[in-house]
A and B are shown apart, each in its own frame.
Chain A
Amino acid sequence: GAVVSQHPSWVICKSGTSVKIECRSLDFQATTMFWYRQFPKQSLMLMATSNEGSKATYEQGVEKDKFLINHASLTLSTLTVTSAHPEDSSFYICSAPRWLAGGSDEQFFGPGTRLTVL
């Protein structure tokens, strides 16, 4: 079945550095991908919708200059956390819908990336 991968699965970085997280759809094309953040013991929070060939759509309260999203191709979206700080430490997940005949879609989640900023 369809798979969505994320890389890296975990990363530890120093405060002030930038970290790039990749989300790939492995056997289908995804014109849209979603990026979420999950704080400990809390639910997923949608950060932004990544759109291939156009700008990402950010949810209210999410800094677009802080969390740069680039949907470079139909199978790849990247999230770059710029000038990371300890409060950015979190679990980041992407998901991608695969559209089916008839107009419905299936949603596939990546395995997530655990970011720890020291």
Chain B
Amino acid sequence: GQQVMQIPQYQHVQEGEDFTTYCNSSTTLSNIQWYKQRPGGHPVFLIQLVKSGEVKKQKRLTFQFGEAKKNSSLHITATQTTDVGTYFCAGLLRSQGNLIFGKGTKLSVKP
């Protein structure tokens, strides 16, 4: 079936280093959403990207949606220990379709 692939599965960084997680779909997406799950918690919505080539920023987080609407990335600049958690992307194949989640990227930040 349709899948949203997310890499890497794990990422360990030193505090202050940058971090990027990538999502790829074999099928054009209607939109893509990003979630953050803190250890022990549930995924919390961060942002939604809809337009081809869209770039959105939230403080140190930069979200991109590819021109073909098949891939997306989340980049964190100068990571902090508060960034620790698992970041999930979720793609919507069509406007009335179902969200398909990537497996997530678990970020650990060493102080």
| Interfacial chain B residues near A114, Cβ < 8 Å | 98
In whole angstroms, how far apart are the Cα atoms of A114 and B42 in the complex?
21
Q: Is B80 an interface residue (CB 8 A)?
A: no
Give the contact-size bracket for chain B. 20 to 34
Q: Is A49 an interface residue (CB 8 A)?
A: yes
Given contacts A44-B45, A46-B42, A106-B86, contact A112 B98 (CB under 8 A): yes
What is the total number of residues of chain A having a CB less than 8 Å from a CB of chain B?
A: 22
Residues on B with beta carbons closer than 8 Å to the beta carbon of A93: 99
Q: How far is the CB of A41 from chain B (nearest CB, A)?
A: 6
Q: Cβ of A54: which chain B residues have Cβ within 8 Å of it? A: none
| A-to-B contact residues, CB < 8 Å | 1, 34, 38, 40-41, 43-44, 46, 49, 91, 93, 95, 97, 103-107, 109, 111-112, 114
